[in-house]
Structures are given as structure tokens and as C-alpha cells.
Structure 1
Amino acid sequence: MTWVAHARTLAREIIRPESRWHSALAEVPRHQFVVNWWERQGESWALRSGPADPPAWMATTYSDQTLVTRIGTSHADRARPGDALSDGTPTSSSTLPSLLVRMYRHAMISDNDQILVTTGSGYGTALACVRLGDNYVTSIDVDEHLVHTAQDRLSLLGMRPQLEVCDITGPLPRKYDRIVSTLSIRSVPASWLQALRPCGRLVTTIAGTGLILTADKTSDGGATGRIEWDRAGFMPARHGADYEPLPTDAWKQATETEGGESYTSRYPLLYPPDAWDVMSMLELKIPGIQYHRSEEKGLRTVVLRHPDGSWARADTADFLTSPTVHEGGPQRLWTELEKIRNRLNREGTLPLYGARVTITPEGETTLTRGAWTATL
């Protein structure tokens, strides 16, 4: 099976040939790390098998897109042809190659840097091995199957980085010059700061946002940096086989109840994940909100829900009519969303990108820009 031409085309589309990451993209066979994957079909997930359709395998794996390899606890590699999942949340994937390269470039990696990366499919680990050499790369994941599968696939290519089963938010195996996490976190774990060498650099994203955080270790054991003028979103780091589910009645309450407070919004209906700046600002204020949208019989509905029982629902017949909002629970989710939209309309921007980041040795992470501040 010829894959080299596909890889070279992908590299050419993503980055200039003089970049040191260009050769890594051109030389790593991504299809060997994504043999099977889950593909969204409406509200369900269908299994796609590369060997069952080689042309589609090449076209898909050498396109610049994220491929989901695990839903809940269901690994695509362990599924059978024809399998489908009625629902579920993605818990692992092969990140789109251009974003992997952007994260690595934010890390400002130099030759001889010891780096820690997250495993997933193993493709990003392979890119780092080509760029630096196996001896400089440590790759970890909380999922034993993912680590062992990636190790086998890397070995077939003659790559033998250090791979370990490890929760990235806990103690880390050794010391590093760079930590690059393609999992998102709420605040920087203290273990990262302990594992970083003097002047070491970390790169990650803040969970539930589109914010890329970079920071350099300081002499007091903390770190300083900024929110980059760039956007990315990753799955939140998990600490076990799956994410903690919301209470089953939370969804029913949010979608069906007529209780709580109600009012007419002053703004057109918005699905926050379509507006990353707004969603990011809301997540910093109220972390953990989940979103859902639907359209039935001409009625468009957006639902917000939170693990503490807070919920909000807004619906309208068209985008020109202001939606009717219902909300209840300990916090007023849509009201907070409206405040953010008010600020955006008033100031023309939100104080996120370019914000200064200060991290204490204990991991308390504070963002500031002008008079605005948020502590994670």
C-alpha cells in the first residue's frame, strides 16, 4: 500500500518545507496509528475500518482532521465490523496533524530537550520521535490499552520512546524541559511544575475552552506565561476509564421542565460551542457546563446543563426572533451567558487572548488582562 505520497501531500499542506516538523509529517505513516475509528452519523457513532476500504483509509488518515478512536470505554481497535454506538462521549482520538504541530511549535522545542507528550493514538509521539529522537521523548496515557497499542505500533517503525501508563494530572515519571499536553486541564497540576526543569516550558489548553496556555517555569517553582493568540480545544484529562456522567435527571429537567425563571432574550439564539470566545469566557466563570442543540418541528432549541443541577433552555422558531429562555437551579447559566454577550457588544472583544498567566508552585492559575482577572 502506497502511503508516502499521501504523507508528503499532508506535510506540504500543513507547513513550509524548511520547518523541522515538515520531515516528521512526511515520514510518519499516520494510517498505522489509526487503523479503525469512530465516525459520527447523526446522534450515533459508526465504526470505520481502514483495511476494509484502503482508498478511504488513505484519504481519511492523511487529511487534516481529528479521528475519534475511543467512545466512552469502547476502543475502535477492539470493535467488530458493523458495530455502532447509539451515543457516547469521545474519550480518545488522533488529533488533527496541523494542531499537533502548532502545539509543538508553541512549546519552542530545541534539540536535546527532554519532552513529555500525551499518547492517544501514538501518532503525535511518533512525530516527536522523528523530530528529536526516541531518547528524548516520554509519552503517557491513563489508558493501558492505548499505551500498549501505541508502543507496538511505534516499535514496528523502529521507534522506542519511553511509554508509561500514567494520569497526567498526578506525579510524573521524571524531569522534562517541555510538557506538551493534548488533553485539557482546568488548572495546571502542581506535578507539572515539579517535573519541569529550570526554565522549562509547558503547553496545554484550559478545559471547556478554546484557550491555549503556555508558561515558563520561574525560579520560585511557579510559572508565568500567557494565553496564546491561537485557538484549540482538546478532550479534558480523565482519571479513569470514562468521564463522570451527569445525573440522568439533569438532562430531562433541562429539556422538559417548564419550571424555573423565564424571560425573552435580547439576543438571537446562540449555541456557545459555535462561538469559542463566548464559550471560553463562560467556562472560566462557571466550569463544567455541557451543551446540546436540536431542531424539531421548526423549533430550534439550545440547552445548557451543569453538574450542580443548574440548567437553561432557550428556543425560537427562527434566528430573527429572540428566544424564550427558561432556567433554574443554583446558578443562572443563560443569564451569565447574556452578561458575556453584553460585554462583547459593549467592548467589541473579550479579555481572553493575550492574557497574562501566573501559576503558583501549587498550581493555582490566574489569568489577567487589564482590570479583568480569573483564577482557575
Structure 2
Amino acid sequence: MNWAPRAAALAERVTHPSSRWRAPVAQTARHELVPRWWQRAPGGWALRNGEADKGRWLDAAYGDASLVTSVGPLHADHATGDDHPAGLPTSSSTLPGLVVRMFQHARLGDDDTVCDIGTGSGYGAALAARRLGDAQITSVDVDPYLVEAARARLDAMGLHPALVHTDATGDLPGTFDRIVATVGVRPIPASWLAALEPHGRLVTTIAGTSLLVTAEKTEDGGATGRVEWDRAGFMHTRHGSDYPPRLAVLLAAAREHDGDDISTGRYPVVQVTEAWDLASMLDVVAPGIEHRFDEGGTQRTALMAHADGSWARATARADEAPQVHQGGPRRLWDILDEIRTHWLTHGELPVRGAKVFVKPDGSTYLARGKWLAEL
């Protein structure tokens, strides 16, 4: 297949002409790293096989979009057309533009060693190896199959970075000038700080948010930095082939039950997961809430649930004030409304642009003005 013009066009879209990442993007055959992938479909996920439709394969591989490669424990490489998993994505090939931006945030020097956390398809490791050379790149993933598949496919391209199967929240295989994670963590693991060279720099996202953090190691073994104005969202780190069960039962109850507390909300129903700054602030203040949102005609319904048994349902037409039902030990919709009030009062939320302080044990704090939060 003549993939080179597609890769060159992708490089033009995601890098500027003088970027040192332009050549790595243009020279990397992304389609070879993602021969099969999952696409959302009614009733679950549908398998896409690149060899069966090479035009669609190239369109997908050289579009600036993420390609889901695992859903729950089932990797697309091991699936058949009859499989329609309904779980959460557990691995993907991240959209190329975001991979490049994460590496740009790392401010790589030509002699830097890099730990790429979250091997996935191997695309990030491929770009980094082309940019700096095999010997300076180590990539890790919790899934042994992903590591072996990426190794074989990168070897076929003539690229040989070190690929290691390990739980990235534990000890990392060496020490590095830069750590770049395309998985979300909360808080930042102490092992990352231990593996970071003096004055080294790490780039990651806070799990459950779109907060992209950069921080440099300090003399005491901790790190300081900031929440960048840029945004990124990645899958959470996991410790096995799948994530723990979600709160489907509680969300279903929230859809039907009358609350212990019934009131009229102050603001229109909002789809929280699509309001990135609002969702990030909420997850810092009250982590672990799951959301559902339905819109039919002018009727809008938002559901919230937490593992502590708290839940909320807000329903309204268009932008009218909603009727809010809440139950359990906390009033989740009230917490959300307090954040929206802060936003309207102050014009913005303090999470974006906040300073980041990480202690050597990984305790992570965000601060902006008088606002302080521990993750």
C-alpha cells in the first residue's frame, strides 16, 4: 500500500514546518501498528479489519483520531466479526496530534532518555525512537500482549526501543530524563519521582480529568510544575486486563427512584462530561462520580452516581431550571451547582493553570490563589 503520502499529510496537519516531530510522523507507518481496531456501533463495539478494507484502513490510520484496540480484556487482534464487546476501552492508539503535543510538553533534548508510559500500539514509542534513537527510549505497558505485539511490529519497521511489561504505578525499569505518560494517574506515583533524574521533567494527566500536568524534579525528590492550559484525556492506569465494574446498578436506580431530597436546581441541565473544565473541577473536588446524559427532543436528563451510594438525577426541558432528585450520603448535584456558582462569580475555575506540588511520596497538590486541593 502507498501509505507514505498519507503519513506526510498527517505530519503536515499535526506539526509545524520546522518541528523536529514532522519527520518522525511522516516516516511512521501507523497502519502497520493498528491492523485491527474497534469502532462504536449500536449494541456494542464492532470490529474493523484493515486487510478487509484497505481504503478505510488508511483513512483511519492517517486521520488525527484515536483508534481503540482493546475493549475490556478483548484485543481486536484476537476478536472475530461476531464479537461485540460492550465494556470500556482498555487500550488505544492515541491520536497522533496529541502524542506529539505530549512529547512537546516534555521539552526533549537530543541526549535525553525517555520513559514512554502506556505502550499501547507502539506509535508513541515509534515517534520517540525516530526522534531520539532506539537507545534513549523505554516504553512500558501493563498488558503483556501489547508489549509483545508492539515489539514485533516495531522490529519489522527497523525500530528497537526497549519495551517492558510492567505495572507503571510500581517501579520503572531504570532512570530517565523525561517521563511522558499517555495514561491518567491520581496521584502521581512516587515511583515516577524515584525514576526521574535530577531536574528531570514529567508529563502526565490526572485520571478522571482533562488536566495535563508538567512538573520538574526538585532537590528534595519531589516535583513542582503546573496544570497546562492545554487539555488531554487518557484512560486510567489499570492493574490487569480490565477495569473494576462500574456503577450501572446505581445509575439505573438514579434514573427511576424518587430522591430523599427533591428540589429545583439553580442552573440548566448540563452534560458534564462534555464540559471539560467543569468535569475536571468536579473530579478534583469529588472524585469518582460517574455520569449519564440523555437528550430526547427538548427533554434533558443528567444522572450522577458514586460508589459511596450517593446519586442524583436532574431533568428539565431545554434551558429551564431542572427538578433534581438526590439520595445517599452526599448531594452530588449540589456540589456541581456550587462549582458552577464559583465559575459564574469568578469568571473561571482554578484548576486550569494551577500550580502543582508533588511530595517525594507522590502526594499531589493543586493551588491557585487561595484555592488548594490535594488529589
Shorter-chain TM-score category? Answer: over 0.9
Partner SS for 1:322: coil
Q: Which residue pairs with 2:147 in the alignment?
A: 147
Q: After superposition, where does 1:1-376 map in structure 2 within 5 Å?
A: 1-42=1-42, 44-85=44-85, 87-117=86-116, 118-246=118-246, 249-295=249-295, 299-316=299-316, 318-376=317-375
Distance 2:165 2:70 in 1: 17
- Offset at residue 252 of structure 1 (A): 2.5
How many angstroms apart in 1 are the aligned matches of 2:178 and 2:146? 22
Give SS of 1:164's match: strand
Specify the SS of the correspondent of 1:84.
Answer: coil
1:268-311 CA-partner distances (Å, limit 9, x unpaired): 11011111111000000111111111245863211111111111
Aligned-partner SS, 1:20: coil
Give the 3 Å change call, closer, same or farther, for CA 248–5 of structure 1 in structure 2. closer
Q: Answer with 255-264 or 20-29: which moved more.
A: 255-264
> In structure 2, the residue corresponding to 1:172 is in which secondary structure?
coil
For the 8 Å contact 2:135–2:161, the answer to whether it is kept is yes
User: Are the counterparts in 1 of residues 228 and 353 from structure 2 also a CA contact under 8 Å?
Assistant: yes
Native 8 Å contact 2:170 2:191 kept in 1: yes
For normalisation by structure 1, the TM-score amounts to: 0.97
C-alpha contact 2:299 2:318 (8 A) present in aligned 1: no
Q: CA deviation at 1:61?
A: 0.8
- The C-alpha deviation readout for 1:109-148, integer Å capped at 9, x for no partner, is 1112110002011111101110010100001000011111
SS of corresponding position for 2:51: coil
Whole-angstrom distance in 2 between the partners of 1:299 and 1:350: 28
CA distance in 2, matches of 1:247, 1:208: 15
* Alpha-carbon distance in 2 for matches of 1:343, 1:175: 42
State the alpha-carbon separation in 1 of the partners of residues 255 and 89 from structure 2: 22
AA paired with 1:106?
A: H
Q: Which amino acid aligns with 1:158?
A: G
**Aligned mates of 2:217, 2:51 — CA distance in 1:** 45
Change (3 A) 1:248 1:267: closer
- Decide which moves more: 278-287 or 242-251: 242-251
- Report the identity percentage: 50
User: Post-superposition shift, 1:80?
Assistant: 1.1
Once the two structures are TM-superposed, the CA of residue 83 in structure 1 deviates from its matched residue by 2.8
In 1, the alpha carbon distance for the partners of 2:215 and 2:7 equals 32
For 2:333, the aligned partner's letter is W
| Partners of 2:150 and 2:264 in 1: CA distance | 51
Structure 2 length-normalised TM: 0.97
What are the Cα deviations for residues 52-89 of structure 1, in whole angstroms up to 9, with x where unaligned? Answer: 1000110111000111111111111111134322x211
Residue 320 of structure 1: CA displacement? 2.5
Code of the aligned partner of 2:357: T
In the TM superposition, residue 256 of structure 1 has moved relative to its aligned partner by 1.8
* 3-state SS in 1 of match to 2:52: coil
How many residues end up aligned between the 2 structures?
374
- 8 Å contact from structure 2 (residues 298, 318) kept in 1: no
Runs of 4+ in 1 over 6 A off after TM superposition: none
Amino acid across the alignment from 2:363: E
Separation in 2 of the partners of 1:212 and 1:41?
A: 30
Q: Unmatched 5+ residue regions in structure 2?
A: none
Residue segments in structure 1 that go unaligned for 5+ positions in a row: none
Q: CA deviation at 1:178?
A: 0.5
